[in-house]
Amino acid sequence: MPQYLTIRDLLAQLQHLDPDLRVRLAVNPDFPFAHYVGTDVVVHDGIAYIGEDGQDGYLPPAVRDHLTWA
């Protein structure tokens, strides 16, 4: 995936998934956490920002390992 993900890129990644799957953001400041995806999408200067809606807990080790976040 490109560093600058587009809506087209994201839709291509998601289109084959079960539409009822829950969604989380994987965030790695120092410790890998999962965050809820917010419902607000703000477009500013040609970029769509999706807000987070709180922390769900630590990222599962298998996901962390797949993302190569030690």
| Spans of all domains in the chain | 22-66
Mean pLDDT per block of 10 residues along the chain (70 residues) reads 77 91 85 90 89 91 88
Give the side-chain half-sphere CA count within 13 A for 62. 0
What is the SS3 string spanning the chain? CCCCCCHHHHHHHHCCCCCCCCCEEEECCCCCEEEEEEEEEEEECCEEEEEEEEEEEECCHHHHHHCCCC
pLDDT for the residue numbered 20:
92
Decide: pTM greater than 0.95: no
